[in-house]
Chains A and B, each alone.
Chain A
Amino acid sequence: MEIHLTTPLKTEDLEKLKIGDQVYITGTVYTGRDAAHKRLVELLERGEKLPFDAEGQIIYYVGPAPAPPGKPIGSAGPTTSYRMDPYAPALMDAGMKAMIGKGPRSQPVIDSMIKNKAVYLAAVGGAAVVVAKSIKESKVIAYEDLGPEAIREMKVENFPCVVANDVNGNDIYKAGVKKYQK
């Protein structure tokens, strides 16, 4: 099924998603990968505010290439998600409703998605120019010193991804492999 979502995300829209659904996102996504996640979770542990309001928002695991002249961003495909697994539950507890990345998640992350009614969306790894075409604006909003790992606020239109984990704990990585293994 093809579904169009706009941000901030609503729980009732997320509850309808099933693994394998093709989703197109329009609105705002926040970027963050290893180093930024470490800092965000340290803020939460100290009881401080995040650099953006996480309520109903999407975090995209990406470290984009620099923008060439005349373009809002360089190539910007997803990075491997499991490295963010130690931090993801804390961000979902803080209101984050979706994560975009690539590759399977750990059971504690899946459990946190069930608890927080959040989803995990897979973008195509290595299709970084295709993904960049859906990013219309990008600005660094925190941790500029981290270079490609800084937190960016991106305006996206019809950002393509597939539902990899739904709010009921289903997992496309397990289901897909099971279907095709010999």
Chain B
Amino acid sequence: MREVNVKDLIPIVKKLCIDANYYMGEDVIQRIKELKEKEESSTARSVLDILLENYELAAEEQMPICQDTGVAVCFVEIGQDVHMIGGDFTEAMNEGVRQGYKDGYLRKSMVADPIIDRINTKDNTPAMIYTDIVPGDKIKITVAPKGGGSENMSEVKMMKAADGIEGVIDFVVDRVRRSGGNPCPPIVVGVGLGGNFEQSALLAKKSLLRSLTEKNPDPKWAKIEDEILEKVNNLGIGPQGLGGRTTALGVCILSKPCHIASMPVAVNVQCHAARHKSAVI
């Protein structure tokens, strides 16, 4: 048994919020550079150049890559031998988010009530916190700020087994086609297959945490990811939807077992600012 004071999580979460928003991951930068070489449209190439310039400027100027600094999505893997002391875990996570968004000059984008009065909570809380209990005595925290523009283009569909893998691929590609220029392409397409209604959506979100320079460890899914990526990049949407070959930087699939009657498919669309940072305590 290892004791961890929840107060020690606060500065870690704060730093992860700021770092994720200021410093773009090398995987995104590398993929944009690779795809720019193959881009046929000169407008598209100049948009990709602006994105690369923006990532550099954000890091240099210590400013967020995008003004939409997102919902603070937090994935926390808690070792089963950890005993948390010193207060409320959820409140400590929210305090880290509160301090990060205030001291990092990040935008506060949460409203307390979704439809009646939509009053801003003014500190970007509450965070969206997902916990997993895992073996060991460590805590791993990942903060993945998620913007609204791409989140709005996401969808869960309860498909049927008879639709087959072709049906799944068609649904994913069509979701990207219908998103057009709205989610700030080049996007990352997160796909959750199986599980049930809510688990498919969470799988789709978690799939976005994989580095874009890593292939899916399962060759079966890696092949399907390549197939979807090719189809998506043949849609012609291009960077910002202005036309071109670079619609997506990658496709990430996560799958889980499901009920004999079901075939849930979730597509979580991620803008080019595919931000996530992790720390282990």
Does residue B126 face the partner (Cβ distance < 8 Å to A)? no
- Given that A147-B122, A181-B236 are contacting pairs, would A104 and B106 also be in contact in the complex, using a CB cutoff of 8 Å? no
Whether a CB of chain B sits under 8 angstroms from the CB of A176 is yes
Look across to chain A and name the residue whose beta carbon is closest to the beta carbon of B107: A65
Distance, CA A10 to CA B68, complexed state (A)? 32
Knowing A65-B105, A80-B149 touch, does A129 contact B242 (C-beta < 8 A)?
A: no
List A residues 146-169 near B (Cβ within 8 Å). 146-149, 162, 164
Q: Which residues of B contact A82 (CB under 8 A)?
A: 182
Q: A173-B242, A177-B235 are in contact. Are A77 and B180 (CB under 8 A)?
A: no
Q: Which residue of B lies closest to A83 (CB)?
A: B152
Binds B, one of A66-74, A88-96, A108-116: A66-74
Interface of B is mostly: loop
Name the distance in Å between B234's Cβ and chain A's nearest Cβ.
4
Q: Are B63 and A103 in contact (CB under 8 A)?
A: no
- Cβ of A63 under 8 Å from chain B: yes
Which of these, B40, B63, B241, contacts A75 with CB under 8 Å? B63
**Residues of A with C-beta under 8 A to B109:** 63, 148
Cβ-defined contact, B107 with A173, below 8 A: no
Q: How far is the CA of A120 from the CA of B69 in the complex (A)?
A: 25
Inside 8 A of B273's CB, which chain A residues have their CB? 126
**Cβ-defined contact, B50 with A127, below 8 A:** yes
Q: A77-B67, A177-B180, A178-B236 are in contact. Are A162 and B242 (CB under 8 A)?
A: yes
B74 within 8 A of A: no
A-side interface size class: 35 or more
- Is there contact, CB below 8 Å, between A129 and B243? no
Contact of A103 among B68, B120, B182 (CB under 8 A): B182
Q: Which residue of B lies closest to A129 (CB)?
A: B57
Q: Which residues of the partner chain A approach B15 to less than 8 Å between Cβ atoms? A: none
- Is B271's CB within 8 Å of the partner chain A? yes
In the complex, A28 has a CB within 8 A of chain B:
no
The one of B53, B58, B68, B108 in contact with A79, judged by C-beta atoms closer than 8 angstroms, is B68
Which of A71, A133, A173, A176 has the most C-beta atoms of chain B within 10 angstroms of its own C-beta? Answer: A176
Size of the B side of the interface (Cβ < 8 Å), in residues, is 49
**In contact, B149 and A125 (Cβ under 8 angstroms):** yes
Q: Report if A182-B122 is in contact (Cβ < 8 Å); known contacts: A80-B182, A176-B243.
A: no
A 113-136 to B, binary, CB cutoff 8 A, 1 in contact else 0: 000000000101111111011000
Residue B100, interface by CB 8 Å:
no
Could you tell me the distance in whole angstroms from the C-beta of A143 to the nearest C-beta in chain B?
11
Contacts of A71 in B (CB 8 A): 63
* Alpha-carbon distance between A124 and B105 when the two chains are bound, in angstroms: 21
Q: Which listed residue, A104, A126, A180, touches B54 by the CB 8 Å rule?
A: A126
Contact A180 B271 (CB under 8 A): no
Residues A176 and B236 in contact in the complex (CB < 8 Å), given A20-B43, A103-B181: yes
State which residues 223-264 of B face A: CB under 8 Å: 234-238, 240-245
- Say if the beta carbon of B220 comes within 8 Å of chain A: no
Decide if A58 is an interface residue (CB 8 Å cutoff): no
By the criterion CB–CB under 8 Å, are B63 and A172 in contact?
Answer: no
Q: Is the beta-carbon distance between A64 and B241 smaller than 8 angstroms?
A: no
In the assembly, what is the distance between CA of A147 and CA of B122, in Å? 8
Q: Does A179 belong to the interface (CB within 8 Å)?
A: yes
Chain A, residue nearest B111 (CB): A35
**Does chain B have a CB within 8 A of A175?**
yes
Residues of A within 8 A of B240 (CB): 102, 122, 124-125
Q: What 9 pairs between A and B have smallest CB-CB spacing?
A: A176-B243, A181-B236, A180-B236, A125-B184, A182-B234, A103-B182, A127-B54, A129-B57, A75-B67
| New A-B pairs, 15, CB < 8 Å, besides A102-B181, A122-B181, A128-B58 | A62-B67, A65-B64, A75-B67, A79-B149, A80-B149, A102-B241, A103-B182, A103-B241, A125-B240, A147-B108, A176-B236, A177-B238, A178-B243, A180-B41, A180-B238
A to B CB contacts below 8 Å, 18 in the list: A64-B107, A65-B69, A74-B105, A75-B107, A79-B149, A102-B240, A122-B240, A124-B240, A125-B271, A128-B54, A129-B57, A148-B120, A173-B180, A173-B242, A176-B241, A177-B237, A179-B236, A181-B236
